[in-house]
Amino acid sequence: MKRIIVILLLALGIGYAQAQDDGLQTVIVAGNQEAELAYNKGIENFKKKKLDEAVRFFTEAISYKVDFAKAYFNRASAKSELGDLAGAMADYDKVIELEPSNGNAHFSRAMLLLTDRKYDEAFADLLLAQTKGMKDAKIPYYMGVVKFQLVDYTLASEYFSDAIAQKADYAYAFNDRASAYRMLKEYDKAIADYQMAIEIMSDKAIFYNNLGSAYRKKEDYKAAILAYTKAIELDTNYFLAYNNRGSAKFESEDYEGALSDFDKAIELKADYAYAYNNKGTVLFKMENYQESVVVLDKAIELNPNYGYAYVNRGNSKEYLLDFKGACLDWQKAIDLGVKEAEKFMKSCN
């Protein structure tokens, strides 16, 4: 029997969904000046999450005092929360123009650039925030995030270490350093760091999910399943953890358990092509080739460029004696860059 090629999605593992501080910069009203009164109304509304009103009052403050840097800064924060990233960027630019030494403005602009995947520009702003006097563990942490996204995992781990040196209980830095170690195949270090992140912040499902993925890399499927199960207990809608636990069960040859988890992942996220591919792979292993093809059809419908789904569908078609269909699928996989399919094509000549 041909070896089935399986691609089972792992969590990326980097958990920087850590919100920056609200960044509010407050002032004391001096002499009931109109600009400052409007500004403080903006602060009041911002704290109440009345963001449109906050923007309106900060704008009013700026109309009275065109060089009011704090009003620009806080208007940028409100615009950012409202999803007006371009407007927020323009306001942070203005703060930096008015106050070139404002490290907080550089840091906040870096967060927007990071959101926009402008990693080199974000890193430059983080450096400026640091050189202009901002001292905070978040700076090396986000430098690590940038380097992780740029696939420089060694340097990323070093920046995460710098963040931990400044803040010993920085759970996200431990989690993300672990993910960098995982990408570097230093699995024991990764496991130790994920465990440290959990010790500091035990209610984060993503930490357990990532720990499970590190255990999977070491082929300790029992420990992986336990970690994924804990992630699911913390977040019952965590479709990725169901998918990953299904993968660990598949690798443990618990095909019924794997099928159940992939079905749950699909129930929670009906457009999750990876779970359909994985379910199709389980059905192949259970010799249910006809249903495997149907499920893999869905994976390909959701993601027409999913090369491994074509490989797996081709394998199922071969066992259904649809040799032409199998060869077409394997060729498509090759066209999409899946070199492993080339050995299957030998039987098509």
CA angle 12, 18, 22 (to 5 degrees): 155
Q: What is the pLDDT of residue 26?
A: 55
Q: Which residue has the higher pLDDT, 46 or 23?
A: 46
Q: What is the pLDDT of residue 226?
A: 98
Q: For residue 103, give the amino acid letter.
A: G
What pLDDT digit, counting tens, does each position of 76-128 carry? 999 999 999 999 999 999 999 999 999 999 999 999 999 999 999 999 999 99
CA angle 153, 158, 159 (to 5 degrees): 100
Q: How far apart are CA 107 and CA 104, in angstroms?
A: 5
Banded model confidence at residue 336, pLDDT cuts 50, 70, 90: very high
Please state the pTM of the whole predicted model.
0.86
Q: What is the pLDDT of residue 349?
A: 73
Class of residue 329 by CB neighbours under 10 A (exposed 0-12, middle 13-18, buried 19+) = buried
Q: What is the pLDDT of residue 29?
A: 46
Whether the CB-CB separation of 88 and 20 falls below 8 Å is answered with no
Which domains does the chain possess?
Answer: 271-349 (1.25.40.10)
What mean pLDDT comes out for the span 300-324?
Answer: 97
Banded model confidence at residue 23, pLDDT cuts 50, 70, 90: low
Q: CA-CA distances (angstroms) from residue 25 to 18, 96, 232, 245, 334?
A: 20, 15, 39, 45, 56
Average pLDDT, the chain: 92
Cβ count near 6 (within 10 Å): 18
The DSSP symbol for 143 reads H
Among 14-28, 61-75, 141-155, the least confident range: 14-28
* Half-sphere exposure in the Cβ direction for 348 (13 Å, CA): 19
Q: How far apart are CA 224 and CA 246, in angstroms?
A: 10
Tell how far CA 2 is from the center of its chain: 35
Which distant-in-sequence residues (6+ apart) come within 8 Å of 258 by Cβ?
246, 247, 249, 250, 278, 282
Give me the residue label for tokens 């792992």.
10
State what percent of residues in the chain have pLDDT above 70: 91
What pLDDT digit, counting tens, does each position of 196-208 carry? 999 999 999 999 9
Q: CA-CA distances (angstroms) from residue 16 to 13, 114, 138, 148, 304?
A: 9, 11, 10, 11, 30
Is residue 17 scored above 90 in pLDDT? no
Give me the residue label for tokens 């323009």.
90
Segment (H or E) for 57: helix 51-64
